[in-house]
Every structure is written in structure tokens, then in C-alpha cells.
Amino acid sequence: MLSIKNNLMAANAARHLGTSYNSLATSVERLSSGLRINSAKDDAAGLAVRELIRGDVAQLNQAARNASDAVSMLQTAEGAMAVIDELLVRMKELAEQASTGSYSAAQIGIMNNEYIQLGAEITRIADSTTFNGTSLLNNTTALSFHLGSASISFTPADVRAGATGLAVDATADSTSTALHGRYYATTVDSIYVPAADITNGGEEDIQFEFGTDSNVAVNLGDVEGTGITLAALIVRLNDAAIAGDWSASDPAFAKAEYDSDYGAYRLRVTALTAGAGNDITMNAGVTMLDKFDNVDDFSVTNGAADGGSVSLVTDAAGALAAVSLAITTKDTYRAKLGYYMNRLEAANSILNIQAENLGAAESRISDVDVATEMANMTRNQVLAQAGISMLAQANSMPQMALKLLG
């Protein structure tokens, strides 16, 4: 119907033009952003899934970085352990060197000084090796490396030279030891057992029992009138130990111990090896112990072999055993660092693969298919152009009525 009041053809053409133009605008938006979903109205369900996947991908990427940081932490510890390895090898070399009798006391003293300094350096390295403030070589508190949905727990070790670590520190003297509790001698040549305390009648013996079937007895009857100095007493005890039936592999030796707080010396008897079968005990039937100061104040401690000194041949033998054990302890921890690094690197690879696959899934949901969208855009461009052309034609239709009116 030809009419001039309502141009239905123009309205219809305008409606289709609007639809084509909106579709063209959507295609332009998608191609310019690279995303198929730019707002919730584009794909509500797809948007929800995409955001969940994006959160998982972000978590996995951070978990992979956590694994890399953990590897760096353990590499820091392992690098320090490599240096400690060299120090322990040198300490073992010194202990072996000092174990032989072909060196003088002065030469062994030089070896001992180096041994002590190496032990101090091990402790310094252990105390100063940290990663982001976390101690790695003097700490036994478990660490948790969080890797996505699970964690890897790692417990550091204490590898200081002290008794709680590698037990090769100069202060770590934990052998079976008997100490006289009173400090009598201002020098080792001072009288330690006064003449008045040495009497006839069998009370002049000092007996030390080592283990279950060996003992040393020192008779002081020949110095009843003069007393005996600490140095002389130590010589007699050591001579008696060497001459006795003690096993050559586990003797005990007497020496003087100086205490700077008292400014005096006391007697010390130390076992080279320790343990339930090698305890040092005092013969309870000999009252000479009481005559020292009227108090039976010898004490006994038991522990690991002394690794803190190579100042004597006998000390060096204990140090050699202690350093060998320390090397085993060190190797165990260094190997632990190695296989945990391998484990973390494997976890890092898996996390990266998971993040990559989730990213691919997110891309399929969210990213625009450029080829398809370009086809849609071309179609919408043609439709829009056709719509504009037809709208122009429809707008000219009412003019045909003028001819009838004329």
C-alpha cells in the first residue's frame, strides 16, 4: 500500500540496519580486544569459567616461582656445604698427621691451631648462611615450600662445628671424663696432694677403672713425706695406664685442666672413646680419693669421642674418628639438598605444564577466533551497506504519491 503517513518500508530497513550495525560493532570490539567475551552479556557461563581458570593459572604460575625460589635457597646451602666439605677434609688430614709420633709437641701444636681455626670457620659459615633471613645450616626447624595445592616439607640441619652439629669444635669435649672438683695447683708444678693426706696402711693408692675389666693404680707411698705435684701425679697416672692391660684402642689419659675463673689447675682423666663399656670410674674401696679434700667429688660424663683437639697424639686419634663421622653427617645433608633440589625442579616443570594447559583451555573459552570473526565482520559490513542503501530507497518511496496527487 502506497501511503505518506507511515513509511513502513523505511522503518523495516532501519530496523535491519540497526541489527547489522550492532553486529558490526561487536565484531570490531572482539577483533580490537582479541577476546570473544568482553562482558558478561557476551557469554555469562563462559565468563564465570574463564575467571576461575585465570585464578588457577595465576596460582600455578606463582607456585612455579615458589619452587624456583626454593631451589635457589637450597643451592645457597649446598654452596656453603661445598666449602665446609673442603674444611673437613683438611681437618681430617691434620688429625691423621697429628696421630703419628714423628712430630714434636711444638709441631703438633701448630697443627692443632689450624685444626681449631678450621672448626671455628665451619661454625661461622653455618651461622652466616641464610636465605631471606632463614638460617640454613644452624637450624632444624622444618620449612614448608607451598607448591599450588600441596607442599614439600624440608628440614635443615645444624652443621656447626660444635657438639650439637658436627662435633669437631675445639670446645666440644664430650668424652668420658673424670674431674677432680677442687683447684689446688696454681701451676702444674704445685703440690696437688699434700704430704699430710698420704698415709701408710694402704690408703696411698689412687685407682681408676676403665670399662669393666681394666684399672690403673698409682701408689703414692714413696712421697708420703713430701706430697706430690699435679705434674708428677699426671705422669704417674699416664705411665700406669700405658703399662697396664688397657686396650691400646681405648685408653684413658690424665692431664691438667686450667680454669681461668679460679686461676688454678685440677686433675682430669679423659677416655679416648666413650660409651657404656668404656666409662671411667673410681675404685670405691680406695679412700685416697677422700684424702684429696675429704669429699669424693670426682664426676663422670659420657658422650661421643672428642673431636675438638689434635694437641696430643691421643687427642688426634679421637679427632680423626670425630671428623670422619662429621664428613658422613655432612655428606648425608648435602645429598639431601641435592635430591630435594631435583624434586623441586620436577615440581616446577609439572606446575608450568599445568599452567600452560589451563591457559590453553582459558584461551579456547575467552579468545576470539580471528578468522571466523573477520568473516562475520565482512558479512555485517555488507549487510550494513545494503541496509543504508535500502533505507535511502525506502525514504524516497512516499514521493511517488505526489505524482498521483498532481
Question: pTM for the whole thing?
Answer: 0.57
Average of per-residue pLDDT across 1-28: 81
In the prediction, which pLDDT does 120 show? 87
166-218 pLDDT per residue, tens: 878 644 344 556 666 667 788 888 888 888 777 765 556 776 665 555 566 77
Q: What confidence tier does 303 reach under pLDDT thresholds 50, 70, 90?
A: very low
- pLDDT tens digits for 32-60? 888 888 888 878 888 889 889 999 999 99
**CA 95 to CA 317: how far, in whole Å?**
7
Residue 258 is classified by DSSP as E
User: Domain spans of the chain?
Assistant: 52-167+320-355, 177-303
- 54 three-class SS: helix
DSSP code per residue over 126-152: HHH-EETTEESSB----EEEEETTEEE
Fold observed for domain 52-167+320-355: f41 fragment of flagellin, N-terminal domain (1.20.1330)
Q: SS3 for 82?
A: helix
